[in-house]
Structure 1
Amino acid sequence: MSDDRSSRLRERRNKTRDRAANTSNEESDEESSKPNETSEADKQSKSEENNEQSVKAEQVGTYMYLPQSQKREIERTYGLLKADYEYEFGEDFEKNRHFFPLLIQHGLDGLEGLDASEVRELLNDL
């Protein structure tokens, strides 16, 4: 099963690289023929691609195995925070760029200073 997932992820990365390479080649051709003609949709698309690539370039991909209940709680919490944040500030609240680092940092802060017996108690509470 993980081989299937790995294959799908690898295929998706390859397609993304191919699209980026094709887009780069097409942009070079277009720039030489139409240097000042760029639509708003193209600008937004390029901006979104750069944001997506920069998250991957800036952060390290990490896989975790969690109990289903925790995964479900993470998804619920993300949905609620995303809706509130985007409504309040009119900005995107991205899962990989914003939510996961926030979740992990506050989890780390909560574990800081615990001794082994306190960790054991917390594990037993799970």
Structure 2
Amino acid sequence: MRETCVPSGVKLKDTGFGYTLSLIGGKYKMIIMYWLAENKAMRFNELKRSIGTITFKSLSIMLKELEAGGLVVRKEFPQVPPKVEYSLSERGRSLIPLLNMMCEWGEKNSSPALENVPQ
């Protein structure tokens, strides 16, 4: 394993770490990916209800960014009323082990004593 993935003298945005953050960074992107991984495919309002705290505008922006990054697939069904479903692409699914590791880390490192530690 490498010592660091951001060598000194290299801008963060020019590293693999920076690239990954550019795709999944932000308040809701990983949460959206989590729900899509759990449910295979979801409609916009299902995602909105599952996340709860996200606005329609923010969800729309996040989905467009995830789609532009090749992590989410938007599928339109030609029917009335229109139906659109979102799912993870193969590329998006390749990030699920990373999200699972974050979950495991959180479970191992969270405790009542840590909840009062200043941020």
- TM surpasses 0.5: no
Query: Whose helix fraction is larger, Structure 1's or Structure 2's?
Result: 1
TM-score under structure 2 length normalisation: 0.26
TM-score, structure 1 normalization = 0.25
Higher relative contact order (CA 8 A, sep 6+): 2
